[in-house]
Amino acid sequence: MKTSFSALLAAMLVVIGTAPAHADDTTIAGIVFQQDMFMRSVARGMDEEAKAENVTLLDGNSDNKAEKEASLIDTYIARGVKAIVIAPLSDQASIPALKRAHDKGIQIVTWTTDIKADFPASRVGSSGAAMGGGTGKAAARFIKEKLGGTATVGLIGFKAQLAELSNARTQGFLTEARKGGTVNVVAEQDAWLAEKAVTVVSDMLTAHPNINVIYAANEGGTVGAVQAVRRMNKQGKVFVFGTDGSEQLTAFLQDNDDVLVATTAAQPKLIGREAVKAALKASKGQPVDKVIEVPVVPLSRDDPKTLASYASSLKNVN
């Protein structure tokens, strides 16, 4: 019996020693900064890519708080992650914590927002200029064909939250919109949450009753702008051009009141997947593009096929 047991034990050790390890024991961290549909979709894309690559993904939400962002990064440093995939809250203030991670050999990949430093392995996302410009092209056609070549515009941004991105989207919009005629900007304010934007846009239209175009640089601002126009019964007089994509915005574009004319959506799940791909490559010492541009999707009521396809892609986002 001793001989048989010894032989069995030896055989088991050989099997254990030669059995393949887990396909990949890499752990990476993914950090979002709020729980809107866009961020949830990015997180879903990260999760899908991590599962496809058989790696562990730790997910965190900074809740738009710089101190929580830094705490999450420090936690992931202590956990020994190989990479951090993050939408930084600030191009300056987010640097110190991310630099601590980088100095520990952790690869940094930013998405949608960025930092003013050269140590991240890659930045993934759709540029602000492209997001604003996609809507600006639709506005140019509308201004030329529907408004006689002249538009009086109110701008809704989010400079106090993310100044660089807000400015890039707004300037991208204006650059393209001006190709359709004269664009007179008479008001510009911040309002990136829908509830706030309703009030801000309502006050803006009261102070400037000649405004006939509102451009909003994010989802919340766009939703609030549409609701404000409707509450003030200015359908057919004020037209909204927005940014981002969601089920609510696609529904607005399918409504018959023509308030929301066009928006430009990113592809958040693809951003999440590409960011994880870049992080994994960098963690393995493989070359990765410094900037990975994810194409945007212009959406307008004039293109119902693309609109329906994009709306379908948004289903079942938890």
Residues 95-118: pLDDT tens digits?
Answer: 999 999 999 999 999 999 999 999
* HSE, side-chain direction, 13 A CA sphere, residue 102: 16
Q: pLDDT value at position 19?
A: 35
The verdict on 151 and 257 lying in the same domain is: yes
Residue 250, domain member (yes or no)? yes
Q: Which domain CATH number covers 142?
A: 3.40.50.2300
| Residue listed under structure tokens 């002249």 | 150
Q: Are residues 39 and 166 in the same domain?
A: no
Structure tokens at 86: 């993050």
The helix-helix angle for 37-53 and 268-283 (nearest 10°) equals 40
What is the model's pLDDT at position 6? 43
How far apart (Å, rounded) are the C-alpha atoms in residues 61 and 58?
11
pLDDT at 180: 98
Q: Are 80 and 105 in contact (CB under 8 A)?
A: no
Domain contains 196: yes
292 within domain boundaries: no
- Residues 250 and 276 reside in one and the same domain: no
- In this prediction, residue 18 carries a pLDDT of 37
In a domain, 308, yes or no: no
**Average pLDDT, rounded, for the chain:** 91
Clarify whether residues 166 and 95 are in a common domain.
no
One domain, residues 109 and 38: yes
3-state secondary structure of 185: strand
189 in the same domain as 112? no
Q: Are residues 40 and 142 in the same domain?
A: no
Q: What is the pLDDT of residue 156?
A: 98
pLDDT of residue 315: 73
Q: Is residue 2 part of a domain?
A: no
Token pair 């602000």 in the structure block, residue: 128
In a domain, 60, yes or no: yes
Mark whether 153 and 206 lie in a shared domain.
yes
Containing structural domain, residue 261: 128-265
Number of domains in the chain: 2
Contacts 24+ apart (CB under 8 A), 286-294: 288/121, 288/122, 289/122, 290/121, 290/122, 290/123, 291/122, 291/123, 292/122, 292/123, 292/124, 292/125, 293/125, 293/126, 293/127, 293/130, 294/124, 294/125, 294/126, 294/266, 294/267, 294/270
Angle at CA of residue 296, ends 290 and 299, nearest 5°: 170
What does 235-258 look like in DSSP terms, one character per residue? TTT-EEE--S--HHHHHHHHSTT-
Whether 229 and 277 map to the same domain: the answer is: no
Residue 63: its pLDDT value, please? 94
Any domain includes 6:
no
Q: How far apart are CA 57 and CA 245, in angstroms?
A: 26
Looking at the structure, do residues 90 and 175 belong to the same domain, yes or no?
no
- The pLDDT value recorded for residue 258 is 95
Whether residue 35 is found in the same domain as residue 141: no
**Token pair of 15, please?**
């099997």
- Same domain (yes/no): 75, 55: yes
Question: Which residues of the chain are under the pLDDT cut of 70?
Answer: 1-24, 316-318
84 within domain boundaries = yes
